[in-house]
Structure 1
């Protein structure tokens, strides 16, 4: 199994919609800072040097769930997904949506402003707080396939499943 995720990553200094075309990714907050204009940058352990710069809608969702003291966000996880319906400047350009957060007791829906005078519901699911188990060493490709199916049925994130694929033996078992 060859994972081409690295090959299709766009060259950029931040996370963007193209990073999520292949599917959602679960990331871990390393730190949060702000620029001179007050725009937040959420630095991610998985993508050093390429922070997530959330829209106000995403930032409001995160703040509603985790509070406004961003230092408490460190170590928490979120699942981000590409949404082709995101609009900017009146045009549909695609963007990133927060779809799940760790450290929340239950899923919630927030009614947030989309455009002037218009609101829409945004649903945020619960992301399990615990980290996935370490990926074992596989002796055969069949072992890797079995473990992949087991973790998939247990609700593993796409990121974890991709890591399992990357750890699988490259040659078919005999």
Structure 2
């Protein structure tokens, strides 16, 4: 039995780690799920939706209102805030830092842990959507760097391929499935080294 799929880090959704060092600008294609747990589908994310935390849902509601039909076709700029705490640990979280279809920037309080609230500012978004592969490639490079690998872009691309026995001529050729395999292997190797 091959357990490689069990090692994948929540490949069914967009994670904060995917955005480290590479914010993305994405267009909303649909909002699904339950009214209490909406799931936001983003164009070009290979079926990996964004499941916003309550604080970010409040940010979106402040900017666009609470009717999700209005969200479709609008754009958000998402970043990883490494300061977000969950269950007492800094795990990072996906945050909205800019939105299209708002009249002006706004600031509101957002909870980032049980005991901590910060003033969160959202700017007016005028940037075009990000190519999805850019955030994916940044996540791979971040994981490789954290695991001690070094080198320029081509060297990192070769290393990423060696991890799973593949090769690509450009990072935009790496499929979402291959990216998740690379991340799972590199993060598992890094975790084993840190606990050894």
TM-score range, shorter chain: 0.5 to 0.7
Q: Deviations over 1:136-166 (max 9, x none)?
A: xxxxxxxxxxxxxxxxxxxxx7649x6xxxx
**Cα distance in 1 between the residues matched to 2:45 and 2:98:** 18
**Does the aligned pair in 1 maintain the 2:85–2:113 contact within 8 Å?**
no
**Does the aligned pair in 2 maintain the 1:23–1:158 contact within 8 Å?**
no
Higher share of residues assigned helix: 2
- Cα offset, 1:40, TM superposition: 1.1
Match of 1:77 among 70, 75, 87: 75
User: What residue in structure 2 maps to residue 6 of structure 1?
Assistant: none
Q: CA RMSD in A?
A: 2.5
User: What residue in structure 1 maps to residue 138 of structure 2?
Assistant: none
Q: TM-score, normalised by structure 2?
A: 0.58
Q: How does 1:27-106 map to 2 (within 5 A)?
A: 27-35=26-34, 38-106=36-104
Q: TM-score, normalised by structure 1?
A: 0.65
Structure 1 unpaired stretches of 5+: 1-9, 133-156, 163-169
- Cα offset, 1:22, TM superposition: 3.4
**Cα distance in 1 between the residues matched to 2:27 and 2:59:** 16
Q: Summarize the Cα distance change of 1:72–1:158 in structure 2 as closer, same or farther, 3 Å threshold.
A: closer
**Cα distance in 2 between the residues matched to 1:45 and 1:33:** 14
Q: Summarize the Cα distance change of 1:94–1:109 in structure 2 as closer, same or farther, 3 Å threshold.
A: same
Q: Deviations over 1:83-123 (max 9, x none)?
A: 11111011111111111000011111011334446432011
Structure 2 unpaired stretches of 5+: 1-8, 135-168, 170-196
Segments ≥4 residues shifted beyond 6 Å: none
